[in-house]
Each structure stands twice: as C-alpha cells, then as structure tokens.
Structure 1
Amino acid sequence: MRNSLIQAYLPLVIWVGLGAGLGRFLPAALPRLLGRGLYWIGIPLEIFTLARQTHFAEDTGLAPLYTVVSLGLGLGLGLVGLAVVRSLATTIPVEAAAIEIGVAPGSELLPPQPVELALWPDTATMTWVDKPRQGSFVLASMLGNTGFVGLAIVPTLVNGPYLGWAVFYSVTQNVVGTYGLGVFIASWFGRGAHAQSRWQQLRDVVTVPSLWAFALGSVSQVWTWPPLVDDTLHQSVWLVIPVALVLMGLRLSQLQGWSSLQPALVPAMLKVLVLPVMVGAVTLSAGLPRDGVLVLVLMSGMPSAFAGLILAEEYDLDRELAAASIALSTGGLLLTIPLWLLVFG
C-alpha cells in the first residue's frame, strides 16, 4: 500500500512543488489566467473525454445517487461548520478585555477597539463576515478532488467491477457538484460585493462549459472517430492535470504561514475525516457491498477539490482559504486512507 501511495502522489509532489517554487518569480496575474483557462477549456476537455471513453455498466447506477447524497452531506457539514466558526470568531471591546484580565479601565487606555480573542481569527485581508470567505469554506467542505487525486489513487487500492463506481462518482461530482451546485454556491457568495439575482445564478449554472462537455461527450459515444482523435483526447487529460497542480502550487506559494492555514483547519477536517465517516455509515446502513462502500468512502474522503480554487478564481472568492484547504486536506489524506482501508476494507 505504501508503494501505491508513493506512486500516486509523485506527480502531485513534483508539479505542486514546481508551482510553489516558481510562484515568486512569475507574474501575479498568471494564477488567475491559468484558473480561467482550466475553467473554460481544460476541465471541460477532461470531462468530455471521460464521458466519451467511459462505458458505464448497469451496476454503476447507484453511484450517482450516493454521490449526490455525499454532496448533500458535505453541503450540510459546510454550512453547520461555517455557523460554528462564525460564532467562535467574535471580538470584544478593549474595555471589556481589560476588566477580564484585571486591569481597571481609565483615561490612559486607548480608544475602544475590537480585540480578537477568537479561535479562528480573521485575517488582515478578509473576515468571516465576508461572503467570499464563506463561499470558499463551504466549497472546501463539500467538493473533493475525485478526478486528479481520486482516480489516481483508488484504482491502486480497489480491484474488481466497483472501479466503475469511482469513475461515475468523479464524473457525477464534476457535473452535479462542482459545476452545478458548486457554481451556484460560488455565484451566490462571489462576484465581489455585487449581489446576484436568481436569474444570474441560473445563467451561471446553465452556461457552465463542463455541463455541455459532459452532454456532448456522452452523445459522442455513438460516433466512431479516428483512433488518432481518441488518443489525442486521452493524452490531453494528462496535460490538464499538471497545469491544475501547478496552479495549486502557485497559490500555495502565496500563503503566509500559519495565519493562512489556520482558517482552513475546519473545512479540511470536515472533508477528509467527518464526511467519509458519514458516507460510510449511510452506505453500510443501506446494505451496499463492502467493496462498493470502500470506493464511496475513499472518493468522498478525497482532499478539497482543485476546482474550488478554480471557482475562487472565476467568482472572486477567498483564494487563500481555498488553497490552504487543499494543502491541509491533501496532507490529511495520507493519514486517513490507511484508516478507511482498515475500517471499511
């Protein structure tokens, strides 16, 4: 198992490290350009290729249902976790703080100012009151990297017909979760300070290129194309993955130490620990085979999605929180995978 994990994570380390190392030397506008390029071209191309070249068997029919259940659980966890964090991220007046620590307030005190005594303090650039930060928190708790990381790791850990469940889980999350519900959430919380009407949110969802790519890819299965075209499509996926990993590294290079990582602790923990436990409990209660349960648990426990960072670039959410959640949850994945294999394997 250790060798499989090393093999799966070697590209992750190489490309993310390259992006992190080059981040300080490249133009500041490059991450946004890469993010928009992936949103409009790279990810749709990958989904089109998966939809065209994956032949879904009848026994994979339950995978989309449980993917939607997982997304719903992740959304609920994200909203509850956000409410808890916001309630703990409070400030008190400096006079009250002085009384609390036994210092009598007087004229020598500075004018009353907020004093941060929160477990999850606000950063200098964004606070928990800001909707862009809230949006990144919810997306990081809900969406997992089922494509770049999930489909690279799960086949090394699971054998048999249930590998089709992993592919269907990834495609369903991309279509329904990331570029369906995820776009709606990003549109709701994002776009800077401008409130979005329901029509604008619906337009954002309907015009997502990845949705159209999935539909066209599924329809194109009945068309016979030259082998060279299909081979080119397959190889293009291996170009999209390094670009996405480099983008992650570029954003990670902008993190400012612990102050940047601390706000991401809760969404990262919800994503790689709490959500898989809930998915495992639901699927075991439903009587699914153990192999199917293991696949769903592993896929639901993938680290926060790179797509959350892409949506943050496109909809002006908290990019720092998105990148920090990816970093922490990716590190946590190495600790949780042996646990899931032990409990559900």
Structure 2
Amino acid sequence: MVETLFHAYTPLLIWTGLGLLLFQFIPVNFPKLLSHFLFWIGIPLQILVLARHSEFSGAVGFTPAIAIFVLFLSTSLAWLTWQLLQQLSAHHIAKPYFLGKNSLLNALLLNFSSLKRSSQGSFILAAILGNTGFVGLAIAPSIISADNNNWAVLYSVTNNVFGTYVFGVFIASYYGHSQQKNQWWTQLKDVVTVPALWAFLIGFLTRNIALPETVELGLQAAVWVVIASALLLVGIRLRSIKKWQSFEMGLIPSLLKAIIVPMFIGLGASYCGLSGDPRLVLVLMSGTPTALSVLILAEVYELDRDLLACSIAITSVGLLLMLPVWLAWFS
C-alpha cells in the first residue's frame, strides 16, 4: 500500500506544492489568466479527448448513471444540512445553547445567521462538485489496473459535463441572481453557452473519425499538461487565501464531500455486488476534493469565494487522509 500511495500522491503534491512555492514570484493576473485558459480551452480539450476515447458499453456503461446518482445524493444532503443549520442558527440566536463561547459549533451557528444567498450556492457547490478530471484522473492510474481505467474516465466525463457544466452552472446562476431576477431562461442560457458541453458533443460525435497518430499523441499529452496546470492553480489559490473566517462554514460541506458521501457509495456498491477496482474507483471519484471549477463559477456569478477556497483546502487534506482508508476497505 505504501508504494501505491506514493505513486498516487506524487503528482498531487508536486504540482500543488509548486503552486504554493511560486505564488510570491508570479504576476498578479497570472491565476486569473490561467483560470480563463482552463475554462475556455484546457477543460474543454480534456473533455473532448476523454469523450473520443470513452467506451460506453458493458457494465462500465452504468458509470454515468452512478455519477448522476452521486450528484443528486450530494445535493440532497447539502440542501438538508443547510436547512438544519438554518433552523439551529435561528434557535441559537433566540435562545443560545450551552456550547462554549469559543467552540467551533458556536462560531458556526453565529456566523451562519449573517450569510447571504450567494453563500448557500457556494455551500451546495462545495459539497457536490469534485475534482474528478484533474485530481481523480491523476490518482486513478496509480491505484487501479489499466483494464478498469474506463470506469474513472466515464465518471470524470459525466461529472464534468453534467455535474459541473450543466447542474453546477444552473445552481451558480440560480443563487448568483436575486430571487426576483431568476427566470428559467436565464439558467438555460447560462448552461447552453458553456464551452465544455459543446466539447463533449464534438468529441462524442467524432469518436469514429480517425485522426493522425501525431495528433492523437499530442492531444493525450495536452491532457496531462492541463491536469498539471490545474493542480498548479490549486496551489496558487490555496496560498492566496487571506481570510480564514469561512473555515467553519467550509468544514460542513467538506465533511459531506470527503467522508460521508464516498463512504455511503462504497457501502452501497458493496451491497450491490461491486468489488475490487470498480468499487474503489466509485469511492475515489465521489470523494475527490472540491473542484477548482467552483472558483471560476464563483467569479462569474458572484458567489462566496472564501467558502469555496476553504472547502478546496479542507477536502484536499481530507483526500490525503482518507485514501489509505479507502484502499484498505474497498480495494
């Protein structure tokens, strides 16, 4: 297991650590430019390549349905948790519980009462959108056999296309606008104009069109450049966090994302008869850290950036801690 963990952690630590180290030496606008590059070019390119080479037949063909189920499960848990915290906060203000003046729960309930509508959107996005494309696909080859890699690829494609750039854009658009300005065509327009969605359609429809070998090799190499760039940006964004007051709010969706949902999926997969690499892939992908793309959505739709940045930090550490547990229980 030690050797497996070493190979799994290596790309994650190297590129994220490089981002942390380079933060003081890069231009101020570099993170923003890199974010726009990934949103408009890098992520669509990765999705196009994955869509061209994904096999949607056989047992692995159920992976997209499982990924969508995980998405709706995470959304339901996040929404219910938000409602529970909202009620506890209202009762706590009216009649304070005996929680201790400096306790984490006390700080959470007090801060919760002052949160805006945009924070609820960030809370839900932090709990449901995982970094399957960059972190998940970087780790998966180190812990599963090549024969089962298609499970990871299909989950990542589904999560990126349907999760981030359909459902995620819908949620960000909904909570980024006031209730008075929310119209169904506003969310529809925001969804159909994202480049990753069109990249998937182009890749899927051109699967039977052969490209020159040099072009195919170039596209495959470009995918790993995109992954390295995204992990680099994660390190830069983590280093740029100046206010950690959102730590308490980021902790709750992070627990859902990194512990509760993947454990539920692992146990559910075991109950349904899955074992070995397929089960481990589902657990890994459902427990990947909060996606970097949520920061891009936060910039576009004016959501709570600090909450999302803290969630990325917490779930990144959570992955390092939980991966040995998943290997021991579900591999």
TM-score bucket of the superposed structures, by smaller chain: 0.7 to 0.9
Counterpart-to-counterpart distance in 2, 1:290 and 1:241? 26
Matched, 1:49 2:49: yes
- 1:275-321, Cα deviation, whole Å (9 max, x unpaired): 01221233233333454222211211111112222222232222221
Q: Which of 153, 158, 162 in structure 1 is aligned with 2:144?
A: 158
What is the CA–CA distance in structure 2 between the aligned matches of 1:183 and 1:5, rounded to whole Å? 34
Whether 1:220 and 2:220 are equivalent positions in the alignment is: no
Residue of 290, 297, 306 corresponding to 1:320? 306
Q: 2:241: which partner in 1?
A: 255
1:330 matched residue in structure 2: 316
Give the 3 Å change call, closer, same or farther, for CA 317–280 of structure 1 in structure 2. same
Instruction: Give the conservation status (yes or no) of the 8 Å contact 1:154–1:166.
Output: yes
Q: Superposition pairs for residues 286-325 of structure 1, below 5 Å? A: 286-325=272-311
Q: TM-score normalised to the size of structure 1? A: 0.84
| Letter in structure 1 aligned against 2:322 | T
The SS at the match of 2:207 is: helix
Shift of 1:191: 5.3
Aligned equivalents of 2:24 and 2:138: distance in 1? Answer: 29
* CA positional deviation for 1:343: 2.3
Go from structure 1 to structure 2 and tell me whether the alpha carbon gap of 1:343 and 1:12 turns closer, same or farther (over 3 Å shift): closer
Would you say the 8 A contact 1:92–1:117 is kept in 2? Answer: no
Counterpart of 1:343 in structure 2 is 329
Residues 1:170 and 2:156 aligned together = yes
Partner of 2:102: none
Give the AA of the match of 2:193.
T
CA distance 1:195–1:122, shift in 2 (3 Å): farther
State how far apart, in whole Å, the 2-side matches of 1:143 and 1:92 are.
Answer: 32
1:246 and 1:121 mapped to 2: Cα distance?
A: 35
Question: Quick one: which of 251, 275, 287 aligns to 1:265?
Answer: 251
Q: 2:218 aligned to 224, 228, 232, which one?
A: 232
1:89-128 matches, cutoff 5 A: 89=89, 92=93, 117-122=106-111
**Quick check: 1:140–1:304 contact (8 Å CA) kept in 2?**
yes
Task: Check the 8 A contact 2:8/2:140 in 1, yes or no.
Answer: no
Instruction: Classify the secondary structure of the residue corresponding to 2:219.
Output: helix
Native 8 Å contact 1:248 1:323 kept in 2: no
Runs of 4 or more, structure 1, over 4 Å off, are 24-29, 88-93, 191-194
Task: Look up the SS of the partner of 1:221 in the other structure.
Answer: coil
**AA matched with 2:219:** L
How far is the alpha carbon of 1:89 from its aligned partner?
4.5
Structure 2 SS opposite 1:287: coil
Q: What SS does structure 1 have at the residue aligned with 2:289?
A: coil
C-alpha displacement of 1:132: 2.1
Uncovered stretches (5+) of structure 2, i.e. residues with no partner: 99-104
Q: Which one has the bigger helix percentage? A: 2
Could you tell me which residue of structure 2 aligns to residue 109 of structure 1? none
For structure 1, the residue ranges without an aligned partner over 5 or more in a row are 101-115
Further displaced range: 141-150 or 15-24: 15-24
- 1:185 matches 2:178: no
Aligned length: 323
When structure 1 is superposed on structure 2, of 163-172 and 152-161 the one drifting more is 152-161
Structure 1 pair 192/15, CA: closer, same or farther in 2 (3 Å)? farther
CA distance in 2, matches of 1:314, 1:251: 16
- Assess if the C-alpha contact under 8 Å between 1:35 and 1:314 holds in 2: no
Contact 2:244–2:310 (Cα < 8 Å) also in 1: no
Determine the C-alpha separation between the residues in 2 that align with 1:130 and 1:27. Answer: 32
Residue of structure 2 in register with 1:149 after alignment: 135
Please name the residue that 2:13 is paired with. Answer: 13
Deviations 1:26-74 (A, max 9, x none): 5544433332222121100110111113344422111111111111111
Does the 8 Å CA contact 2:169/2:190 hold for their aligned counterparts?
A: yes
Shift of 1:16: 2.4
